[in-house]
Structure formats: C-alpha cells, structure tokens
Structure 1
Amino acid sequence: MSDIAPTSPRGAWNTAIYARLSRDRRGLSENVSIQVSECRDYADENTWPVVGIFPDNDISASKYSKKPREHYDLLLRAIRQGQVNIILITEMPRLYRRLEELLELIKLAETTKLQRIQTTDGISYNLDSAEGIHAAINAVNNAMLEAARLSKRIKRKQRARAIEGKVHGGGRPFGYEPGGLVIRESEARVIRECARRFIAGESIGDITRDLNKRGVLTATGKPWRIENLQRTFMKKRNIGVREYEGQEYPAEWPAILTREQWDRMEAQRLSKEWRWPKTQTGVRKYLLTGFIYCGRCGSRMYSGGRGPECGRPSQRRYRCRPHDNYGNASGCSKTFRIAEPVELLVTQAVWHVFDDPKVAVFLSPKVDEDKVRHLVQEFERRKGKLDQLVTDYATDVLSRDQFIQAKGIAEASVQEAREALSHYQSETSLAHLPATQTIRDAWETSGLEWRRNILRLVVDRVIVHPGQPGTQRWNGYRFDPEKIEIKWKF
C-alpha cells in the first residue's frame, strides 16, 4: 500500500518515491523493497522529506501491459493535490516505458508543484525546462527501445525452446508432476475420463459438477470451473504437443491422450456451438427442446416453466408460443404440457427401442478418425472464409451489398458444417457405450446432453396433440399418453 505523509512546510522538496517490479513470481517483493530502501537513503542524504511511497509489484510499464498500475495512479492523484515536488526513482524504466504517460506528467508539471524526476544515480530531469523535458523524453525512448530488444530476445528464446519441445514454464500442469515432464497417473486418469465422457456427448457442466461432487481438485487444489476444466483437458500438451504462435512441435514430455482422441473432442466442441439456447442459469433443463412440436398448428414448442406463485410449486412445461425470439408470428399459443410425463414417456419409448440389441448394433458406427479430422478441417476452412470476408469489407475489396450477400452464403455454409459435426457426434455417443452397459443403465448415470444425443439417433420429432387428460392418470400424473405421438427415424 502507498504511504502518504502530511504535506511538509512550504519550500521543502516534497518527495514521492515510486518503485516497480515487472514480475515477481514468488510474491516476495524483494526488488521493490530494495528500490524503496535505496530511494529513502538518497532522500535522507539530500534532506528531502518523503511524503509518499508508491510501490507497484508484478506490473509491467511497457505498452503491452494491460494490468493497471494502482499505486502509480495514486501518485498522480498526490501530484494533482499539490503534495509532490520531486518523483524519486532508481532509474527511468521503473517509472516509464511509454512516452504517452511521460507527456501526461509533463502537462501536470505545468499546473502543479511538480518540478522534476530524480534518479538515485544523480540524474535529474527538470520538467520546467526544455532541456530537462528533452532529456526525459530521450530516457523514455531508450527504455522503450530496450524493452523492444528484450521482448525480441525472449521471443527468440521461447521459439527455440518450443522447437526443441521443452516446457514453457509456469505452474504445475494438471496431469503431470512439477516440471511438467512426468505423468501423475491419478490426474491422468481424470483427463482420460473427461475426454471419454466429452466424446460420448456429456456436457462440460455435467462433468464439472460430477468431479466437484467427488472431491476431484485442480492442480492448485481448488474446485473445478466449467471453462477451466474444458481448457485443461483440451490442451494439446496432453497429446504430447508443444504449441507456439500457432505452430506445433513434438514435446519432450509423454502424452496422456492420443491425437485421435483430441480430434474427436474438438469435433464435439465445435458441434456444440450451434445447439439450442440454454436457460438463464446456463444449464439445460429440458430434454425435448428442438424435438417437440404442436399437433394443432405444427410449430415447434418451447420450454416455458412457471415459477412458484400463490402457494403453488414451480412447474416445467412445454408450450406453443405465439412469437419466436425475433418477435415474428410463430405458433397458435394454445398447446401446453407438463414436461415431466412427456419426457418420461419418450424416455421409456427410447429404452424399448434399444432393448433390441440388433438396433444398437445397427446404429453404432465404426470409429472413423479420418472422417472426424476431415469434418473439423472443413469447419475451420469455412469459418476462415467467413472471417476473411470481414477483412475484405474493411479494406474495400467488397462493397456493403457484396459483403451482406457473401456473408449470408458463408454463414449458411458454416452452419452446414456444424450440423454435420453434430450428427456425427450424436452417433459417437452410442459408439462409446460400454459393451456391458445398456442404454437404460447409461441413461440413469449420464448427463442431459448425452441423452439428447441418443434421442437424435432415433427420434425425428415428438408431436403433442390437443386435448385434456380429464381424470386419467399415468405414472402419477394427470396425463393422457395417447395425445403424444413419436415420429421415429427408422
């Protein structure tokens, strides 16, 4: 924290000490403390009262840094309040490596009591003279040049290490021992499990909740977050690949997964991008969204739950809506059904279909890794063409009308590729069912996305015909199963 003392008597050289360390992985702040101590000694030798100490730790001053310098901002506030005459630093790069920030300080010197920047090696930059300003600008330019040279040296070193397949550094990667070269088998089993379940169609959310429920922790000992889990098991380091600036190099560490497994996970990830919208909580709750249609008007039905009101419990429902998400006329708005009995009826029907082992054998595809890789590559190619259109429009290669027309065609092409991926991934959900496990068994333990993938294999649509159940009861619900029609794909 900054330490600001009361303003000294008029005429004193009120001094603010600024210290900064670009990176301190250990969090010990030793270098910052050394800078502060050196500045204090210098101020004492010159009998300058120190009115504030402003240390920024683990923060770069280069133009590439996006992290705010909190205590530098406090220093500027103290200057604006008229508390500072001198900024004392060990060397100019501690304060600036960006010319625009120095120009801001020069402007402040015109309207405040700030007079100069002073370094502990005796160099003074007087901000009230042209010569001093010129010298300060030259010092910052030199610091910028040195930063650019250092960046190039670091990049050359990183590229050389990448080509050799060496580790990048940083904390311990999940699945490996410290140093990243030896597999930690207990965590590798988790990565393999996640890959298998994701390929089989389970959602990241379902897998994340299961791992946290079982007490499986990250490499830093924390519970998993959805985005963190996907980023972890989708890393190419898990297949023995070192990445650098879009290029791949054979790594020096052993692989946990195969390239074929990674390709299938990537296919699954891309196929999920076009799926139906989720609820506001980010977790899908309805099994039949996208499958269920109104038997009165033929429009698609949507999830439309009712919250608790007037003492009644909340209720999940499917309903025919009068308008779609764009406000266009959609359905008749006259058909509603409670979700639970409809989903139970469809589920039991699907179980019955798969009770015949011949059906499972017939539907189960052979794993075709070349097909997966081709689908992924085709999606990326089409996506790249769509992205290129934006560049062509921005550089006036295409007119606005040409861009709009081409964009529509390209987006349809990308959507077609996504749907091809999705269809293939639905098939692989069945392919990865263990030989000793039935669909009925797997249904009870698998997540909602896996269940929807199984539905896609055999169900074309579910039609809800109009009518009331009256006094009829089915499995504990006031529900008439005769009003539900399932259209199969076979």
Structure 2
Amino acid sequence: MRCYGYDETGREVIEAEATVIREVVQRVLAGESMRSTVADLRARGVTTSAGRPWTQQSLSRLLRNPRLAGLKTYRGEVVGKGQWPAIIDRDTHKKLLALLDDPSRKQPYSTNVRKYLLSGGFLICGYPLPDENGPETHIDGKPLYTQPSNSGKRGYVCRSGSPSYGCGRIRIAADSLEEEVAARALARLASPKVRARLEAAVGSAADGNEHIGGVLEAIDERLEEAGQAYAKREISLVTLKAIEEQARNERRDLKEKLAQAARLQALPATTPEALAEWWVDAPLERRREMLALVLDRIIVKPASRAGVVHLDTDRLEFVWK
C-alpha cells in the first residue's frame, strides 16, 4: 500500500495529499488534539491512501513516518536520505516525534489489561447499513468496546468516535451476555467431537514448535532478502510492501496456531461439571484463553424492541471455530 502523500512508486509527491499533511502537521504542533484533527478530516471526506476514513492510529502512523522527511528506513531504522522529495523538513519531523511520544499525552490510567470477558474483538457490531446495492445490505462490522452506562452498569457498545468510528447504535448489557457466552462455550469445550476437531485444526503444532520456529526463521530470511533487493533497486517498493504483508499474515497465522495448541494443552478439565467449577474461580485472562479456543466472534444485532430487561438471544449470531 502506498504511503499517503506519495504515488505508487514512492518517489513522486501527490501535492493535494502533501497539502493535507502539512496542514495536519501544523495543527498538531500548534496543540490541536489528534481526536479533533481526525474528526475534521472525516467530516471533510478526506480519506487515507486506501480510501478509508482516518483514525487516530492511522494518522499517528503517518505523522511518525520518516519518509515524509525524505528519510529511508530499513526494518524500522533510519539508514539515510531517500531518493524522493520530502514533504516536511527533518526538524519538523523531530518535533512531531517528540510531541507524539510525550508521556503526558497518554491517558494516565490507560492499561492493556482486559477487564471485560468479551473485550478485544470478540464482539462485532451487526447494525445493518446501506450501500450502493440498497438499504441494509451489509453490517457495520466494527468491534464493540466496553463502556458502563450512566448508572454504572457494565455494557458493550459500538462507538461512533475513536477508536472504531462505528455507527454508535448498538449497546448490550455485559453481565447477561457474558453468562450466555460462557454457558455455550463451556458446553462446546466439553464436547469430545469439538475438541477432536480443534486438535485436527491446529495439527501438530503442540509437538511441532521446532518446525514452526524454522518456518518463522525462513520468513525473517525472506524479509531480509527482500529488503536487500529493494536497497539494490532490484524490486519496487510496491513489491517489497506486498512481500512484507504476506510475511506478516503467515507469521500471524503460525503464532495463532501455536497459541491454539497451548490453549488446548492448558484445558483444565473435560466434563461440563468440572469445566463449570473451574470457570467460577479462574482468572479473567484464563477464561478469555479458553473462549479463544472455540469462539471466533459474536455479531450483535439491534434489539428487537426497546425496554427489554432480559437478554434477547435472537440478537446474537455466534461464529464458532
């Protein structure tokens, strides 16, 4: 994928996009928040090089990119001056990095520790949206995030703002949903047929760490060779990016296979009763690991009617592994 501000070759500036970059840089350095800047770009219909709406994450990645300052990198390290025109000067690039890396900009109580059972991608917004094919032809598809209600009750919501910029129209209570998901997941984990299928799916990963380790090393070697070929101008930037994308996908799939094998080995019990007993006192992360064995995602659809206090299971579309 091309870098915003440059054409597919990576060597020619697209002036309209460069103008946007310079404007954004000026606003951020002047103290405007990333949230406000992104909201403005989205409102104006300014999109990324892939045609997607900007997010705080994607804009931050762009502003950190040394390419904008005419700098060449290899494996994340600046290795010299590139053979393309800079959009911003190096001093401005340094100021941006210093600003974006300032610890005071980070949320003081932010943490990567999950506090909800289904946070982190298990839940997907199923609100129907229109497209060129007509009304309600596809779902929003954005992940749901944790958010308590005004009364403090735990819930999962589709956020209209950062970080997902979803429809903002889906909310579901956490407690009853988590109880339903746990009951269904434990039943599947106790099924010998399901366990056999899972073991077949991960193959010999449980006993094949050395083999997979060798495959990961081969991927790294392929990336290094591609980087050297690009440095010698034997391949284009587009080809290099394609190789890197394929390598990332292969590495992710292999690591997930290893993780699934480890989860299978750590399965604490095999009967429904024993699993349910273990679940009661298990740490949240262990529960999430067990869920990840069998659950890919749950699509949460709109409520059929307002004011319903019990869980409407018709809203839920389970996608099992």
How high is the TM-score relative to the length of structure 1? 0.34
The higher relative CO (CA closer than 8 Å, separation ≥ 6) is in: 2
